[in-house]
Amino acid sequence: MKKLLTDAHCHAHEFGEGELRKFEEVFEVIVAVSDDLVSSKKTLELSERYLFLAPCVGVHPWALGDSDPHELARELERLVRCGRVRCLGEVGLDLAFVPQTFDKQLDFFRMVLDIAKDYDLPVNVHTAKAWRQAHEEVLAKGVRRALFHWYSGPLDVLNEIVARGYLISVNPTVKISSKHLEIAKKVPLSALTFESDGPYDYRGLRLSPWLIPEAVRLVAMERGLDEVELLEASKDNIVKFLGK
């Protein structure tokens, strides 16, 4: 039976297999992002056994460290050539937590976007306080499919993102952040998806896919829409995002 629940951005490789099996019972698709090359390989390996996981390979801006971005991009492309990769992520730019590495982040992100373009893959993008820059880079490279995860930036950039046909994912923090809830109310259904970013602790909230139904309920209530309508929109958008 087809299920309605989806998660647009989850670090599935950090969950135990017992938990993954439980997710599999209720989630149609979990877009499984990676943090670095090691977790990218693990995500690919998990996706061979858990078909509901859509594997993304990537290096998070927090994980660039002292590595040579050219070498990382070459390794990433090697993984892409294996043919199982469904998207590139988690990748992006971060001016909130690691602004000191921004130049390196930008070098690497541009190379990742070239890979996305060359292999026609979608990108699952981290944009902490670098919303405008991340959107401009994606646009400049002509990447067709992009999802700006846990978007919390200004509304004018949000409008540009959705006008270009890119997606936004709404996080369960709508329950504790009025700012995040306000954004969730502004995203048109054509660009809306739900995510967990689990497992991650945000102000005492342990993020996991299990929080998505409650987030959907809250956003539906705030928007005066039916929950099923939001679940279907999120699922349709994720399916389109993944393509093929």
Is there a contact between 126 and 149 (Cβ–Cβ < 8 Å)?
A: yes
Rounded-to-integer distance, Cα 169 and Cα 191, Å:
8
Amino acid letter, residue 220: A
DSSP SS3 for 8: strand
In this structure, what token pair is assigned to residue 17?
């297999």
Amino acid letter, residue 102: F
| Contacts (Cβ under 8 Å, ≥6 apart) of 72 | 37, 59, 64, 108
Candidates 173, 198, 200, 168; CA nearest to 186 is 168
Chain contacts with Zn ion (rule: CB under 5 A): 90, 197
Q: Beta strands 123-126 and 146-148: pairing type?
A: parallel
Is there a contact between 123 and 107 (Cβ–Cβ < 8 Å)?
A: no
Rounded-to-integer distance, Cα 137 and Cα 47, Å:
29
Rounded-to-integer distance, Cα 202 and Cα 97, Å:
14
